[in-house]
Amino acid sequence: FQANKGESFLVPAQVHSYMLKQIAHLPTLIEVMAMKQPLAAAPVPGGPSGNPALERLKEKLDKGSSASAAAASDLWDELISRMKALVCWDGDFHAQQLTFEDLLKLISDLDPVVADFAEAAYQAASHRDILTVKALYRGFSDLAELFDCPRRYSGTLYSRNYDLFQFIGNEMFVCFIAGLLKYEVWSVFPELLQESWGTDRHQRPMTYANQLSEYLYLLSDRQKPDTRGDLLRQRHSDNSRLAKACPLKDFQSAEFFLLWQFYSRPDLEGDARWVPWSLAVIPQPPNFLGRATSKKFAEELLLAFGLTSIEELRQGLKWANDRLRAYFPDRRYSLSGLGEPKTIGSH
């Protein structure tokens, strides 16, 4: 058989098996077939999640084992290997141009990966296991390698294809922050968010602020301007495992937190920023904003942001509201809906 140029094709399992036995002496053809046949992420037998690496991490956390951090690193290895296999990273992912429809399908195919990570993040935060939390954070340095072409790659390249991993990386990071907020692990934020993930191929430091909030061109060619926000809200508000692992309210709270804390990061320069894409529509204020009227709780936020006074916290909230209006000028945001700065730490 022969495939038209640029098309992919599927071989029925039985026929595929028979052909491999009959033409084992033709390695070139077999390699072409293996490259062209899309890979699927088959369910992995194990515990309730279906992922043995995740179940091992949960078991270590439940037992209070010092090996939990190592289990978190192992989970990252498994997730990244699965992502690469799914998109044919070592095959033709770089050279075959993704369309908008391709992007949506691959994002959907990667749902189990994001859900696995979200569960791990919430588990580590619920146990307040700081070493495991740090291991999960540092794993993004490996994921960041997928935000661009491999360093020694040569050949045809479609740079917009990497929008897929920019989207997934952003979503996973927000889920990670959401778990820490839910279980109020405030003390880890100052150190964690200032830690870089190494350098990119241009020798620039990689941080969450310059890697995970990028403009995605594959999502920009739509008539509707808020495609990205709609997609995130849909993914975290349906009945899926992902939405249960990180509900929309948690996700949006984490987005607002990341925007608010950006006020306290004068060390971030250049193209660093945080655009809270899911907040183009805000159904209700984050829980921690209501609690921040308490002086005691506001002092915990000071610790998380690395600030020294409640007045700085209030200025940061006003700045965050102003940034929201700038990012989404077609939306109306009310300070009374998002929290009046003057009420922070007032009781």
Out of 183-192, 299-308, 324-333, least confident range = 324-333
Contact between 82 and 146 (Cβ < 8 Å): no
Confidence at residue 223, expressed as pLDDT on a 0 to 100 scale: 44
139-143 CB contacts, 8 Å cutoff, 24+ apart: 139/72, 139/73, 139/75, 139/76, 140/169, 140/172, 140/173, 140/197, 140/208, 141/197, 141/198, 141/206, 142/76, 142/77, 142/80, 143/76, 143/80, 143/169, 143/172
**pLDDT tier at 311, thresholds 50, 70, 90:** very high
- Rounded to 5 degrees, φ, ψ at 262 are -60, -25
Q: Which DSSP state fits 199? A: B
The closest alpha carbon to 249, from 236, 238, 261, 259, belongs to: 236
Is pLDDT above 60 for 296?
Answer: yes
pLDDT in tens, 246-286: 999 999 999 999 999 888 776 665 566 788 988 887 666 78
pTM exceeding 0.85: no
